[in-house]
Amino acid sequence: MEEKNQETQEKITENIQEMPNIDSAIPRKMLERKTRKQLYEPVLRTIIYVGLVLIVSIVTYLITVRTMVGNSSDDALRGINALEQAVDKNAYYLGADGYFDKEKMVTAALKAYIDASNDPYAEYMTADEFAAFVSSNAGNSEGIGITVAACNVVIDGQKRGALQIVAVNENTPAAAAGLLTGEYIVSAFDAEADEWVTLPTTDTAGFTVAYYTVVNLIRQGEIGTSVQMTVLAQGGETAADVRELSVVREKVETKSVYWKISDADTSVGIVRLTEFNLNTPEQFKKAMNALTNKGITSFVLDLRGNPGGDLLSVKAIATYFLSAGNVIVTKVNRDGKDMTPYVAEAKKYTGSYAPCSVEKDEVGMYASYHFAVLVDNGTGSAAEILTSVFRDYQLGAVIGTTTYGKGIVQTYYSLAEYGFNGYVKLTSYGYLPASGISYHGIGIAPMDEYYVELSAEAKQYNVFLRPEAIDNQVQAAISYLKK
């Protein structure tokens, strides 16, 4: 401070010495006060000016940003309004009743809006679509209670596509109607179009569209409505082996766990999980208990083609193999700061998540058995979490090919708090396995000795229809369990 004051005094003195003689008659104290004022006024004016400029700039910036954001939303609304007016005034094609379905058009616009985000998993859902998703995630849906796989059949010498029934769930409309595993659905009736829909052969370009058309005709429809279909008996080859029947749709439990005793080794059980719904833990326990009650102690856990599902569902199943407190997976937010571990534990849930509850005596209840886990590029998300548990805690060998590599989680958010009846799905966080090393975008690769590509012959079959004898990945898993 002393140096700064000294410099100021020197400048004042210099100014006094340079002043004209007209000021020589002014007393020195008055002169000093005047020269200080002359010195400070320009400085003060400059400081005030710069301050005002900064304040105006900041306010202008904030107003501009607010205007830009507001204009962006306003422009979108004006754009939709303009489109609506242009369509109403000029469009040639109208709806069946002479009007456009404005609700459908707005829904399409909302879906397009969220589809244009940087989130590849983002999705807009109407209230009805979300309700259907919740029911499906709980393991319930409207349908007849069968699992099908695409295939070809020959009827009266003519090759055609079909849906082979690979599973008929117990206590379902399909079982009541007499449908049997191994039979083939060759057509379904489209009541709206008033025509039967058949399938071309599986190698035809239009097969995929026809496949989903027939599947939707069977599944979709209100409870109490019927679906008509024609069914070819297993081993049948003529029109005489085809029967027509009608099945009433009801609310059915989605089956996500299939099990059997190995054909090659009766000491090995094979348990296949197709997805992780809220009822999957209960189905998994039933499968495991059925096999262990038969004296089975070695298992092939088949996660091939399993795209994932609910986090609490896979958490429950992973807990059956771990000790209390073992980390299953850790949630990480976008900043990498909020790290929340999910651990093996006894925990009770209510409502739709009640099937994901774990009792104290269920923690680690399958840890003493021998396992081999089958994976491929279709093994993703929740299925990879379970795969990583077996790998990181060395519970069994991971056999097959590299998994999909999805280490992120999506959350559904209600738009009700923003005054709109709809839902949006957004990627909300990533997760890390127990090892702490992310596999997102990379996948989980089996060790070299357990890396087994599916043979060309085995690839010719749908996974549900593939004979165990030619499934070289299953054979590799059984060989591992015999060591």
**How many beta carbons lie within 10 A of that of residue 96, not counting itself?**
6
Categorize the per-residue pLDDT at 13 as very low, low, confident or very high, splitting at 50, 70 and 90: very low
pLDDT tens for residues 23-55?
Answer: 333 333 333 444 444 444 554 455 444 444 444
Q: What mean pLDDT do residues 280-291 have?
A: 97
Looking at every residue in the chain, the average pLDDT score rounds to 84
Q: Both tokens of residue 259?
A: 């099990």
CA atoms lying within 13 Å on the CB side of residue 266: 2
Q: What is the Cα–Cα distance from 268 to 301, expressed in whole angstroms?
A: 11
Which of 65-79, 131-145, 263-277, 408-422 has the lowest average pLDDT? 65-79
pLDDT tens per residue, range 234-244: 999 999 999 99
Please determine, for residue 320, whether its predicted confidence score (pLDDT) is greater than 50: yes
Residue 72 has a pLDDT of: 57
Q: How much is the CA Rg of the chain, to the nearest whole Å?
A: 35
Q: Which residues pair with 149 in a beta bridge?
A: 164
pLDDT of 95 over the 50 cut: yes
H helix intervals, 275-392:
280-292, 311-319, 382-392
Asked if 23 and 31 count as a contact pair (C-beta separation under 8 A), the reply is yes
Query: What is the pLDDT confidence band of residue 63, given thresholds at 50, 70 and 90?
Result: very low
What tens digit of pLDDT does each residue of 128-140 get? Answer: 888 877 776 666 6
**194-230 per-position pLDDT tens digit:** 999 999 998 888 888 888 889 889 988 889 999 999 9
Do the Cβ atoms of 138 and 246 come closer than 8 Å?
no
Q: Please, which pLDDT band fits residue 338 given cuts at 50, 70 and 90?
A: confident
Rounded to an integer, what distance in angstroms lies between the CA atom of residue 222 and that of residue 251? 9
**325-329, 405-409, 476-480: least confidently modelled range:** 405-409
81: pLDDT confidence band, cut at 50, 70 and 90? confident
Residue 232 tokens read as 């070819």
Q: What is the pLDDT of residue 93?
A: 80
> What's the whole-number mean pLDDT along residues 441-452?
96
| 262-279 mean pLDDT | 96
pLDDT digits (tens, 9 = 90+) for 185-202: 999 999 888 999 999 998
Whether this model's pTM surpasses 0.85:
no
Mean pLDDT of 340-350: 96
pLDDT digits (tens, 9 = 90+) for 144-156: 999 888 899 999 9
User: In the predicted model, what is the mean pLDDT of residues 408-416?
Assistant: 91
Res. 18: pLDDT tops 60: no
pLDDT band at 143 (very low <50, low <70, confident <90, very high): confident
Residue 376, number of CB atoms within 10 A of its CB: 21
Q: Longest C-alpha distance within the chain, in Å? A: 133
DSSP string, 245-279: EEEE-EEEEPP-EEEEE-SS-TTEEEEEE--B-TT
Which helix H or strand E contains 187, and what residues bound it? strand 184-190
Work out the pLDDT band at 334, boundaries 50, 70, 90. Answer: confident
Of the chain, the percentage scoring pLDDT greater than 90 comes to 58
The answer, yes or no, to whether residue 342 has pLDDT greater than 90, is yes
When pLDDT is averaged across residues 405-430 and rounded to a whole number, the result is 92
Strand 140-143 vs strand 146-155: parallel, antiparallel, or unpaired?
Answer: unpaired
Q: How far apart are CA 302 and CA 374, in angstroms?
A: 5
